[in-house]
Amino acid sequence: MMRRGGTALLLIAFSLLTSGATAHAESAWVLWKHSYEVWIDTNKNSHRRDVAWRKVNAATAKSDCDDRRVREAQAEYYTLTGQGVGATLAGSEVGFEQSNTRYKRGYRNFECWPDTVDPRGPKGK
């Protein structure tokens, strides 16, 4: 009798542990908007400057994050072209013309990352 009770308790504990892990795995993706600029010098060397990383949305599954990533890029593209800005759309990356800066081309890339990863890199002092 004790053996059955012990087995039942182990099964209940295992069930609770796996359901918690499943719940965590389901909410494990974050959609980020990465803005950066590119400048080409007279020697045709490309210079890139990161501008910002911004969290857009948390998703319950990677497929949901990927779907949202494409929709956000399309919305960004249509907003820019609607304002008369020359823009291009390639997957989840929007490129656009900039003025009043030596970085003539700007980009906004939408990226899905696990919620345990911060794409901005390690935090400094």
Instruction: State residue 124's pLDDT score.
Output: 60
Does residue 25 carry a pLDDT above 90? no
What's the domain range around 102?
27-114
**Residues 28, 111 contacting (CB under 8 angstroms):** no
In a domain? residue 120 = no
Give 72-99 pLDDT, tens digit per residue: 999 999 999 999 999 999 999 999 998 7
Q: Torsion angle of alpha carbons 33, 99, 88, 56, nearest 10°?
A: 10
Indicate whether 121 belongs to any domain. no
Q: What is the pLDDT of residues 95-119, one digit of tens each?
A: 999 877 777 899 999 999 999 999 9
Q: Is 80 exposed, middle or buried (0-12, 13-18, 19+ CB in 10 A)?
A: buried
Does residue 8 fall inside a structural domain?
no
Say what the pLDDT of residue 24 is: 45
The confidence score (pLDDT) of residue 63 equals: 95
Number of domains forming the structure of the chain: 1
84 found inside a domain = yes
Residue pointed to by tokens 């795995």: 25
Of 20-24, 27-31, 44-48, 91-95, the poorest mean pLDDT is in 20-24
Q: How far apart are CA 73 and CA 90, in angstroms?
A: 9
| Residue 82 within any structural domain of the chain | yes
- Give the separation between CA 116 and CA 120, rounded to whole angstroms: 12
Per the domain annotation, does 122 fall within a domain? Answer: no
> Please, are residues 36 and 50 in contact by the beta-carbon 8 Å criterion?
yes
Of the chain, the percentage scoring pLDDT greater than 90 comes to 58
Instruction: Give the span between the Cα atoms of 6 and 21, in whole angstroms.
Output: 23
**Does residue 43 surpass a pLDDT of 60?**
yes
Within a domain: residue 48? yes
Q: Is residue 54 part of a domain?
A: yes
Task: Share the mean pLDDT of the chain.
Answer: 82
